[in-house]
Amino acid sequence: MMNSRIDMVLVAFAFGVAAGCDGRPLLPTSGGSPDQAPACGAAVAVTEMAVHGDGFAIQPLSITAGADGNVWITEAYVNAIGRLGPDGSLASFPLPPSARRAQGIGSGPDGNVWFAEGGDQNGAIGRITPDGTIVEFPLPDTPAQTNRWPSAVLAGPDGNIWFTDPTGNNIGRMSVDGVILADTFLSTTSDWRDTPNTITVGADGNLWFGEVNRVGRMTPAGDVTFYALDRYENAGGAGNIVSGADGYLWWNGPGLDHLRRIALPSGDDSKLEIADFFPPGYDPDTPPVVGPMVVGPDGNIWYVSGSNVVCATTAGRFNQISIPTGGSAFAIAAGPDGALWFTEPVSDRVGRISFN
């Protein structure tokens, strides 16, 4: 274990009722009254904490809440898993030496934290206990013998660990004992970017995953159905997906970089019911860069967008909150303390959004 230190409360910034929000309801073809009160995130406090080792950077990337009351992060620069306590203390647990690198991280159904590792030595799914004990479970070769870079891990509705693997174009299911239960390789499209990246559990009890031009549904038994999304020029990156408190799926991703609300299909519906929501000042020629999403304790959708964290209500009203130091956010998660936490790898900081 590496003992690191954290400079607590580097910057604190409170937002009042009118802070940074053009409170219009934004629908695909309609605006609204600009004098409406901000819809969400109007009275939050943002605190940034500088995290670093003894004179070296750690680059916090992915983040999740642990069942032990701590926040857990992947540390890209030192290839370690970090445990951030409520008092601001940071303990780093290095991964075993290999060519693999830590990717996504999530809380498992067994009280441990699970993470994805990709690399030239093939990928692995890792497990870390609250006291920092790490076990890695290497993934089997793909039929194409490609290196595996799993990107996201999730506690599934069946008590198992589910993970996405974009390079292998598959969804995997693993028991909490590290046994591969299923490795489902997906159909391909003409776009090489149509591979699974993020994954969530829908209100229907199925697994939903985001790609570039489509979303996929997988039942716990492994049956897969794809639903096409409109294709946009210059699409790059990955589609992010989260299950909202309203029962809808929420998606953002490449090309248009706004929010899409997706109704769960009923029966054998072959087409998704989609509503698009655009933030204030949206310009399709210069769309903002958007990243991972999370459902906040307020029931709203929160996502990172460059030097901003954005809150959107399920009715499509936005509030853009600037990061006080101007850092660039990478990932966001709901913490065990009722706050939201986000990472800033370039500036070596972790941010916390508390609700008043």
Give me the CATH number covering residue 196: 2.130.10.10
* pLDDT for 148: 85
Cβ distance 311 to 300 under 8 Å? Answer: yes
Tell me: the pLDDT tens digits for 61-90? 999 999 999 999 999 999 999 999 988 789
Q: Which residue has the higher pLDDT, 162 or 276?
A: 162
Alpha-carbon distance of 214 to 235, in angstroms, equals 12
Q: Indicate the SS3 state at residue 78.
A: coil
At 213, the amino acid letter reads N
Average pLDDT of the chain is 84
How many residues are given for the chain? 356
Alpha-carbon distance of 71 to 295, in angstroms, equals 17
* pLDDT for 129: 98
Number of separate domains in the chain: 1
* pLDDT for 32: 32
Which run of H or of E encompasses 52?
Answer: strand 44-52
For 75-106, give one letter per residue: b (16+ CB within 10 A) or e: bbebbbbbbbeeebebbbbebeeeebbbbbbb
Alpha-carbon distance of 233 to 240, in angstroms, equals 18
The mean pLDDT value for 200-207 works out to: 96
* pLDDT for 97: 87
Tell me: the pLDDT tens digits for 299-335? 999 999 999 999 999 988 999 999 999 999 999 999 9
In the chain, the N- to C-terminal Cα span, in Å, equals 35
In the structure encoding, which two tokens stand for residue 76, read together? 């890209």
Check whether 2 has a pLDDT greater than 70.
no
Tell me phi and psi for residue 235, to 5 degrees. -70, 135
Query: What is the 8-class DSSP label of residue 244?
Result: -
* pLDDT for 19: 32
Domain that holds residue 138: 2-355
Candidates 322, 324, 321, 343; CA nearest to 332 is 343
* pLDDT for 25: 30
Instruction: Average the pLDDT over each of 4-18, 144-158, 260-274 and give the range with the smallest value.
Output: 4-18
In the structure encoding, which two tokens stand for residue 106, read together? 């999530």
* pLDDT for 72: 98
* pLDDT for 162: 98
Alpha-carbon distance of 261 to 278, in angstroms, equals 11
